[in-house]
Structure 1
Amino acid sequence: MAQPVQSLPSVGTVVARMRAVDAALPGHDGLAVFNRVYLTVTEEFDRGLDAGLFPDHRAAATLDVRFAERYLAVAEEGRAPACWRPLLRFRRHPGVRPLQFALAGINAHIGHDLALAVVDSCRALGCEPADLEDEFDRVGDLLVSLEERVREELMPGPDLLQIADPLTHLVGSWSLERAREATWAAARTLWALRGLPGLAEEFGDRLDAAVGLAGRMLLTPLPA
Structure 2
Amino acid sequence: MGQSAQLTHTPGTPGTADAADAIGAVGAVVARMRALDASLPERDGVAVFNRVYLAVTEAVERRLCEGRFPDARAAAALDVRFAERYLAAVDDAARGRRPPACWRPLLQLRRHPGVRPLQFALAGVNAHIGHDLALAVVDACRALECEPADLEDEFDTVGDLLASLEERVREDLMPGPDLLQIADPLTHLLGAWSLERAREASWSAARALWALRRVPGLAEEFTERLDAAVGFAGRMLLTPLPH
Q: 1:12 aligns with which of 9, 13, 27?
A: 27
Deviation at 1:77, TM superposition (A): 3.5
Deviation at 1:171, TM superposition (A): 1.1
Q: 2:71 aligns with which of 56, 61, 77?
A: 56
Distance 1:220 1:44 in 2: 31
Gaps of 5+ in 1: none
What is the identity, as a one-letter code, of the residue corresponding to 2:152? Answer: E
Query: Which residue number corresponds to residue 89 of structure 2?
Result: 74
Query: Which residue number corresponds to residue 231 of structure 2?
Result: 212
Using structure 2 for the length normalisation, give the TM-score.
0.89
Q: Secondary structure at the match of 1:10?
A: helix
Q: 1:149 aligns with which of 168, 189, 214?
A: 168
Q: 1:103 aligns with which of 100, 122, 126?
A: 122
Q: Secondary structure at the match of 1:22?
A: helix
Q: Secondary structure at the match of 2:181?
A: coil
Deviation at 1:172, TM superposition (A): 1.1
What is the identity, as a one-letter code, of the residue corresponding to 1:160? Answer: L
Q: 1:116 aligns with which of 135, 157, 168?
A: 135
Distance 1:75 1:42 in 2: 17
CA offsets, 1:151-174, max 9 Å, x none?
Answer: 111010011111110000011110
Alpha-carbon RMSD: 1.4
Distance 2:198 2:183 in 1: 25
Distance 1:29 1:180 in 2: 26
Using structure 1 for the length normalisation, give the TM-score.
0.96
Distance 2:237 2:132 in 1: 18
Q: Secondary structure at the match of 2:53?
A: helix
Say whether residues 1:163 and 2:167 are aligned partners.
no
Deviation at 1:32, TM superposition (A): 0.5
Query: Which residue number corresponds to residue 94 of structure 1?
Result: 113
Distance 1:25 1:64 in 2: 23
- Aligned residues of 1:21 and 1:75 also touching (Cα < 8 A): no
CA offsets, 1:167-195, max 9 Å, x none?
Answer: 00011110000000000000000000000
CA offsets, 1:33-69, max 9 Å, x none?
Answer: 0000000000011001111111010000000000001
Q: 1:85 aligns with which of 95, 104, 112?
A: 104
- Aligned residues of 1:21 and 1:76 also touching (Cα < 8 A): no
Query: Which residue number corresponds to residue 45 of structure 1?
Result: 60
- Aligned residues of 2:118 and 2:169 also touching (Cα < 8 A): yes
Distance 1:176 1:54 in 2: 23
What is the identity, as a one-letter code, of the residue corresponding to 1:18? Answer: M
Deviation at 1:76, TM superposition (A): 2.8
Q: Secondary structure at the match of 1:52?
A: coil
Distance 1:74 1:155 in 2: 26
Query: Which residue number corresponds to residue 12 of structure 2?
Result: none
Query: Which residue number corresponds to residue 27 of structure 1?
Result: 42
